[in-house]
Structure 1
Amino acid sequence: VVLWHGMGDSCCQPESMGKVTEFIRSRLPGIYVHSIRTADDESADRKSSFFGSVNDQVDKVCRQLQAIPELRGGFNAIGFSQGGLFMRGYVQRCNQPPVHSLVTFGSPHMGVAEVPGCQGQNTLWCSLMRSIVRGQAYSYWAQHNVVQAQYLKLLGKMDEYLESSQFLADVNNEREAKNATYAEQLSKLERLVLVRFTNDTMVTPSATSWFGYYDQNGDAVLPMDKQPIYTDDWIGLRKLDQADRIVFKETEGQHVSSNSDDTFQTFFI
């Protein structure tokens, strides 16, 4: 099993990924568990969840996993928050060794339209952050150095997004030139489990965890099967769905906040 942590976390934090690792080992004795790190130590790994190039991080993980003998036959993967999105990037871009099943918890697969934690909030902090984000998110510097900017999909700025997005627009095959390998690789999954949190305010809209997103006017959230990424099968979602290999799960609570026992007994492969 391979784990990819979320924003503000690290590969080996005892109270997060360390706890998850021990939980899996206790339920499946003898299983090999690898927790991805994108930097040399725990502190730098946590920092890399905020700063750096996501493309470079995915490339690094491709090399990292290829070098682990225990994974040569393939593995099951679990991604938490942005780690689930990045793990999907691994599947689509390299997938050697291959992922059999992918579980993502609260992952922003269709991007986010709001500053994390500011949904419905009009505080001075949120107002300031919105102003900064709308003005700078698609700048060259932000798109190459700020991790969260690389999956930001702001309403009313689609042209800028498609032109400048360094990660999400590519991995979702949203540009005119499509990468057929992405659909080919993702559709090889035996199972894709998408977990959404009912009270999630960290990813907006929360339906992004199920490949849902706002319509062009921002008036309504359209589900996955109403999105072009699905109807035109840009990344293989429709093929997976028609083969009954996508599982939608919903759990109560805030962003990636469920008790580990309850969560993994329900969703673990």
Structure 2
Amino acid sequence: MRGLVCICVSLLVICGAAAYRPVIIFHGIFGTSAHMDDLVALIKGAHNGTEVHNIDGYDDLQSLTPMWEQVTNIKAEMLPIMQQAKDGVNLICFSQGGLVCRGILETTPEHNVHTFVSLSSPQAGQFGDTVYLEHFFPNFTKDHIYELFYTTFGQKYSIANYWRDPHQEQLYAKSNVFLYPLNHPSDSSHKTNFERIEQLVLIGGPDDGVITPWQSSHFGFYDDNEQNITMEDQEFYKTDSFGLQTLASKGVIKVHSIPGVPHTTWHGNKDVFNCCIAQYLQ
């Protein structure tokens, strides 16, 4: 009888492990896959047996590589993992990585992502005098860096690809080669592809210190007076240009605002994981 109990317990463990979809993780700007090891440990600790793929690529300064190039090459890393997962995968992408992953979702008809967790990612754009900007572009402030970023040369930097100056919206629309066409795609397949996800989890908070405005992590952004405009009042939401309104109408967008979390600590914060990530990784 004792042997039978052991067999049953073993089968439950195996079945329990198999119940969790594989998770794919991608790091943020100036990061590496090693920086996401704390998140890998949290996932495995909460859901024993989960298959976790921590994508390596575009580390450190290489993360300044143009965004579409990153989308193309990181997609090539992720697709074989997706193809092996018959029930789909969950995707967690941090900071700039969240935009790389959305680029993959919008341009990949064969993706099978169930849940996309966008962790402190500037989904509606970035506009702020952060330590990163001051370090790498010391001769510019946020009010003038558009003079570099909205040029052909400037668009060779990843951060310029999602820089959105609310005082230069026409120039942004004309010059930006990544975020503007991602939010306002001319190809309807972007919308079809993005709507295939079953759940969208948006995580950010007021003490982030890097994502500016921090509400960009929830698809909010500044107007020309630098007052926040919510996701629902953004043009790309109203026109449902890439499927955001459709997902909202289905009730599958989950928004979490967590105070007291600095930007580089989101992925290792156990409280954030327990309240805002673990429950969606089924």
TM-score, normalised relative to structure 2: 0.82
Answer yes or no: is the 8 Å Cα contact 1:62–1:96 preserved in 2: no
**Could you say which residue in structure 1 is the equivalent of 2:178?**
167
Question: In the TM superposition, what is the alpha-carbon distance from 1:124 to its structure 2 partner?
Answer: 11
- 1:202 equivalenced with 2:216 (yes/no): no
Contact 1:78/1:104 (8 A) holds in 2? yes
Aligned match of 1:189 = 197
- 2:163 is aligned to 152
1:23 matches 2:23: no
Aligned position for 2:274: 265
The Cα of 1:214 is off from its aligned counterpart by 1.4
Q: SS state of the match for residue 265, structure 2?
A: coil
Contact 1:58 1:89 in 2 (8 A): yes
Instruction: After TM superposition, give the deviation of residue 127 of structure 1 in Å.
Output: 7.6
Query: Structure 1: 5+ residue runs without aligned partners?
Result: 40-44
Pairwise CA RMSD: 2.4
Residue 5 of structure 2 corresponds to none
Q: 1 CA distance for matches of 2:245 and 2:66?
A: 29
Alpha-carbon distance in 2 for matches of 1:241, 1:231: 11
Aligned residue number for residue 255 of structure 1: 263
| Letter in structure 2 aligned against 1:36 | I
Deviations 1:182-225 (A, max 9, x none): 2112222111011111212211111111111112x224211011
Contact 2:67 / 2:178 at 8 angstroms: preserved in 1? yes
- Distance in 2 between residues matched to 1:6 and 1:162, nearest whole Å: 24
Number of the residue aligned with 2:25: 3
The 1-side partners of 2:31 and 2:170 are apart by 32
Q: What count of residue pairs does the alignment treat as equivalent? A: 252
The structure with the largest alpha-carbon Rg is: 2
For 2:102, the equivalent position in structure 1 comes to: 88
Mapped to 2, the partners of 1:101 and 1:138 lie a distance apart of: 33
The amino acid across from 2:169 in the alignment is M
Unaligned runs of 5+ in 2: 1-22
- Who is 2:152 aligned against? 140
Note the alpha carbon deviations across 1:115-171, whole angstroms, 9 max, x for none. Answer: 32499xxx9999833176232111212212x11111001122222211221210111
Contact 1:5 1:17 in 2 (8 A): yes
TM-score norm. by structure 1 comes to: 0.85
Contact 1:72 1:97 in 2 (8 A): no
Say if 1:55 and 1:125 are closer, same or farther in 2 by CA, change over 3 A.
closer
Number of the residue aligned with 2:69: 56
Distance of 1:126 and 1:240 partners within structure 2: 37
How far the C-alpha of 1:85 sits from its partner, in A, is 1.7
Q: Counterparts in 2 of 1:65-104, with a 5 A limit?
A: 65-68=78-81, 70-71=84-85, 73-94=87-108, 96-104=110-118
Name the SS of the counterpart of 1:129 in structure 2: coil
Residue 148 of structure 2 aligns with an amino acid whose one-letter code is: Q
Query: Normalized per residue, which structure has more helix?
Result: 2
One-letter amino acid of the counterpart of residue 273, structure 2? F
